[in-house]
Amino acid sequence: MSVDRPRPLVAGNWKMNGLRQSVEVLREVHAGYTPGLKAKVELVVCPPATLIYTFAREAVGARIGIGGQDCHAKESGAFTGDLSAEMLADVGAAYVIVGHSERRQFHSEKDVDVCAKAAAAHRAGLTAIVCVGETRAEREAGRTLSVVRKQLRGSIPVDSNSHNLVVAYEPVWAIGTGHSATPQDASAMHHVIRATLREIGGGTTDEVPILYGGSVNRGNAKALLAAEGVDGLLVGSACLDPEGWAEICRS
């Protein structure tokens, strides 16, 4: 049984896109985020780290959450090029994505690393958006459930609850390919994820939002959001176009 959430959460992952002038995109998103829409949808924008401070200032009073796309597990130290969760919080982030498949793939991040990053997010007072999802090869080998269950068990810190954790189911084969999961497939996986969260966290994770991500666009957002157990969306490329983003939110 899935828990009814008051408002779906729609998060935008900008990845490595955006310069200072992109604040205009945020302004357009803000302008379209009417009081009526605010009552119905919770918005989070995760720009590249260089824009978090500007975006967070711009979002003050707008009720748009700002998030990072990754953080280091440690608070500070000799880790050239890295950013701590405390640094993200310091410039106004309230969320951070951890364990995105592009981090797992291009930076060899393992579940244990993701778990440490999520714990760092909690330490800094951020909500961790923990990503899980199987590759095409794993899916074709019939390993989807075991892979996703293992990722969840390995990536979620014990202190997680509905205030500091969001899970994003992002099948790797759906990311950036234009081939999203069907609402039925997403729904089935979200039920498995919900059941696994219950095993991991007892009652404390019952209301953790479970987002679907992977080739979400204005054409499929409505059906995905309507799928049982889907509490929101994690949107990549489609979130860079304010009109498309607004349409996704309205759906």
Active site residues: 100, 170
Burial of 176: CB neighbours in 10 Å, binned 0-12, 13-18, 19+? middle
In terms of Cα–Cα distance, which of 64, 121, 81 is closest to 98?
A: 121
Number of C-alpha atoms within 13 angstroms, CB side, residue 98? 35
> How many Å apart are CA 155 and CA 98, to the nearest integer?
9
Closer residue to ligand PGA, CB minimum distance, 43 or 86: 43
Tell me which residues touch ligand PGA (CB under 6 A). Answer: 13, 170, 175-176, 213-216, 234-238
What whole-number distance in Å separates Cα of residue 204 and Cα of residue 199?
Answer: 10
CB of 216: closest distance to ligand PGA in angstroms? 5
- Residue 223: how many CB atoms within 10 A of its CB? 15
The nearer residue to ligand PGA, 201 or 234, going by C-beta atoms, is 234
Minimum distance from residue 37 beta carbon to ligand PGA (Å): 20
- Angle 144-155/111-123 helices, nearest 10 degrees? 40
SS3 127: strand
Output the smallest distance, CB 121 to ligand PGA, in A: 17
Closest approach, Cβ 131 to ligand PGA, in A, equals 7
Task: Determine the residue with CB nearest ligand PGA.
Answer: 236
Tokens at 177, concatenated: 């390919």
- Closer residue to ligand PGA, CB minimum distance, 67 or 236: 236
Nearer to ligand PGA, 10 or 115 (CB): 10
The answer to whether 128 and 92 are in contact (CB under 8 A) is no
Identity of the residue, 96 or 238, whose beta carbon is nearer to ligand PGA in the bound complex = 238
Strands, E assignment, 56-112: 64-68, 95-98
Q: Are 18 and 58 in contact (CB under 8 A)?
A: no
Question: What is the closest distance, in whole angstroms, from the C-beta atom of residue 238 to ligand PGA in the complex?
Answer: 6
Tokens, residue 22:
């992109």
214 token code pair: 């992977």
